[in-house]
Amino acid sequence: MRLPELAAALNVSPADLPDVEVRGVTHHAAWVQPGFAFVAIRGARFDGHSFAGDVAARGAAAVLGEGLPEGLTSPLPYLTVPDARAALADAAAALEGHPSRALQVVGVTGTDGKTTTSWLLRHLLRASGLRTGLLSTVGYELPDGVLRHFPAHFTTPEAPQVQATLREMLDAGARAAVLEASSHALALDRVRGVAWDVAVWTHLSREHLDFHGTLENYFADKRKLVERAPFAVLNADDPWTEQLTGIAPAETTYSAEGRAADWQATDIKERATGLHFRVRSPLGEFAAQLPMIGRFNVANALAGLAAAARLGAGVPELVEGLASFRGVPGRMELVPGGEGAPRVIVDFAHTPSSLDKALTTLRATTRGRLWVLLGSAGGPRDPGKRAPLGEVATRLGDHAVFTEEDHRDTPLDEILAEMERGAREAGRTNFVRIGDRREAIRQVIREAQPGDTVLLAGKGPEDTLERGAETLPWNEVAEARAALEARQ
């Protein structure tokens, strides 16, 4: 795309723009390549305009920003835009040729359940014959079903990576895409420029208040997905849904708890083979089986069914798709341990509500004792959930082990003390502190007996462990396997 064409796409028209090619866009100076447009964003610590000379030396074609700071000139053509983050997203979409317009795109948002719902939905759509891509916190998939990961420096995909991934999906033959839409992605315009077809709402609970400030602000950012889609799939069991009803031009509702809804689950049974239930829906009533543990996954299944039906899936494909789903890496993932070993489960649960659900589910199917190992993130992450995590772990688990989980620049002792405080204030003493996560995993699996269940919570599928200033490679399932082997 030529620079004047990009300016026109952004609705800005500075005079005398050179007719140079723009090959990409980024707001990170270190990622600039020859021909890139650099978006200068004013952040809390740095003003991107201060890197104008650096990006010029790297071969940038232009700088975009909300206006040059007083006394500063740009060595490159400068485009003044009303909102730099919006311009980053709009430029990325334009440079990739707006790939989402050629796809049926479903966005999934909520505090818990969005990853499982996203993976399940992509599986249902593929079972219906629709070539589907996936972009989730676990990684991304093209229609070939191979899980890929962004390079380590793309901790969270920004708008250029989102648009490039959608383009890659389209070029690989995808006709649909399922995207997890986090509150950060919505608030920071990372998914701006995505042409949504369906918005799926799971539920809302306390999370990321360090970023959003209040629960109401958190809700307002997540609500943007529903505001931008022509069709919404809403959870009738979530109290926040009443503030979402009527926002999208069309909507459907679901309930796993017996509330009035378009999609309802009845006669729910948890068996050794998974979840069995009946579905009442606009497509009729039918029996369903989902080979997953956790009654809460019935709600995720209903959300996926309703969204897949909106994109044309019929009852036979939905039933077959549910029955053949094999879950999400790091989400209630069973780590086989062989005869005489405890049952070990790896799960991403890292909020009080998600930990409550996970432990309640495992308690119902545990013959012996229930062990839980968990930590809480450091740095600027919401510190208000640390004490509640300690309370939930010790109330629902027989034994709790408090350990590290990406403590970053927050002293680990400070985090663990808060978790212990939550437990003690609830009158609990059934916990220990082991700072090293690998050592903690080995000890808890060594002490657990046959018939016991061990939940390793908080890390799930993440492939790094942030310990102070270090970022270490990490694989929770591999650590669990090693501990089981050492136990034998």
pLDDT of residue 319: 98
170 with 304, same domain: the answer is yes
315 with 392, same domain: the answer is no
Mean pLDDT of 293-297: 88
Give the helix ranges, DSSP H, for 295-436: 297-310, 315-323, 352-364, 386-396, 412-425
127 with 221, same domain: the answer is yes
Looking at residue 342, what DSSP letter applies? P
Residue 156 annotated as lining a ligand binding site: yes
pLDDT bucket at 410, cuts 50 / 70 / 90 = very high
Paired tokens of 410: 């927050």
Any idea how long the chain is? Answer: 488
Does a structural domain hold residue 392?
yes
How much is the CA Rg of the chain, to the nearest whole Å? 24
Residue 182 annotated as lining a ligand binding site: yes
Residue 110 annotated as lining a ligand binding site: yes
Residue range of the domain that includes 20: 3-95
CB 292 within 8 A of CB 327: yes
Paired tokens of 484: 């089981």
Q: Using CA atoms in the order 198, 200, 201, 202, what is the torsion angle rounded to 10 degrees?
A: 180
Which 3 state secondary structure label does DSSP give 474? coil
The alpha carbon of residue 59 and the mean position of all alpha carbons in its chain are separated, in whole angstroms, by: 34
CB 259 within 8 A of CB 236: yes
Residue 116 annotated as lining a ligand binding site: yes
Q: Which residue has 């989402």 as its token pair?
A: 100
Smallest CA-to-CA distance from 110 within 132, 77, 137 is with 137
46 with 72, same domain: the answer is yes
CB neighbours (10 Å) of residue 261? Answer: 22
Residue 183 annotated as lining a ligand binding site: no
- Output the 3-class SS for 166-181: HHHHHHCCCCEEEEEC
Does a structural domain hold residue 422?
yes
Q: How far is CA 455 from CA 55, 253, 419, 464, in A?
A: 47, 32, 17, 19
CB neighbours (10 Å) of residue 409? Answer: 10
345 with 450, same domain: the answer is yes
pLDDT bucket at 262, cuts 50 / 70 / 90 = very high
420 with 279, same domain: the answer is no
- 313 pLDDT above the threshold of 70: yes
CB 31 within 8 A of CB 158: no
Residue 365 annotated as lining a ligand binding site: no
Smallest CA-to-CA distance from 1 within 167, 9, 320 is with 9
pLDDT, tens digit (0-9, with 9 covering 90-100), for 206-260: 666 666 678 888 899 999 999 999 999 999 999 999 999 999 999 999 999 999 9
Residue 114 annotated as lining a ligand binding site: yes
Does a structural domain hold residue 41?
yes
pTM of the entire structure? Answer: 0.79
CB 23 within 8 A of CB 36: yes
Last residue of a domain, one of 297, 323, 349: 323
Looking at residue 192, what DSSP letter applies? T
65 with 143, same domain: the answer is no
Residue 222 annotated as lining a ligand binding site: no
111 with 82, same domain: the answer is no
Last residue of a domain, one of 62, 95, 128: 95
Smallest CA-to-CA distance from 58 within 37, 83, 89 is with 37
pLDDT, tens digit (0-9, with 9 covering 90-100), for 38-81: 999 998 788 999 999 999 999 999 999 999 998 889 999 999 99
The alpha carbon of residue 165 and the mean position of all alpha carbons in its chain are separated, in whole angstroms, by: 16
Domain at 23, CATH number: 3.40.1390.10
Residue 136 annotated as lining a ligand binding site: no
Q: How many domains does the chain have?
A: 3
Domain at 467, CATH number: 3.90.190.20
Which 3 state secondary structure label does DSSP give 236? coil
pLDDT, tens digit (0-9, with 9 covering 90-100), for 411-441: 999 999 999 999 999 999 999 999 999 999 9
Paired tokens of 453: 């269940």
Paired tokens of 328: 């999400």
Residue 155 annotated as lining a ligand binding site: yes
pLDDT, tens digit (0-9, with 9 covering 90-100), for 146-204: 989 887 556 568 999 999 999 999 999 999 999 999 888 898 999 999 999 999 999 98
As a whole number of angstroms, the distance between CA 383 and CA 182 comes to 19
Last residue of a domain, one of 295, 323, 351: 323
Paired tokens of 396: 């629902």
Mean pLDDT of 444-470: 93
The alpha carbon of residue 434 and the mean position of all alpha carbons in its chain are separated, in whole angstroms, by: 28
DSSP H or E stretch at residue 367: none
pLDDT of residue 14: 78
As a whole number of angstroms, the distance between CA 255 and CA 303 comes to 9
89 with 106, same domain: the answer is no
DSSP H or E stretch at residue 127: helix 114-127
Residue 190 annotated as lining a ligand binding site: yes
CB neighbours (10 Å) of residue 12? Answer: 15
Residues whose CB falls within 8 Å of the CB of residue 84, separated by 6 or more in sequence, listed in order? 27, 39, 40, 41, 42, 48, 64, 65, 66
Smallest CA-to-CA distance from 305 within 316, 292, 293, 294 is with 316
As a whole number of angstroms, the distance between CA 459 and CA 187 comes to 24
Does a structural domain hold residue 192?
yes
CB 475 within 8 A of CB 441: no
Domain at 255, CATH number: 3.40.1190.10
264 with 389, same domain: the answer is no
39 with 181, same domain: the answer is no
Does a structural domain hold residue 443?
yes
- 339 pLDDT above the threshold of 90: no
Smallest CA-to-CA distance from 244 within 231, 259, 260 is with 231
As a whole number of angstroms, the distance between CA 376 and CA 355 comes to 12
- 1 pLDDT above the threshold of 90: yes
- Output the 3-class SS for 259-300: CCCCEEEEEEEEECCEEEEEEEECCEEEEEEECCCCCCHHHH
Does a structural domain hold residue 328?
no
309 with 342, same domain: the answer is no
**Mean pLDDT of all residues belonging to the chain:** 93
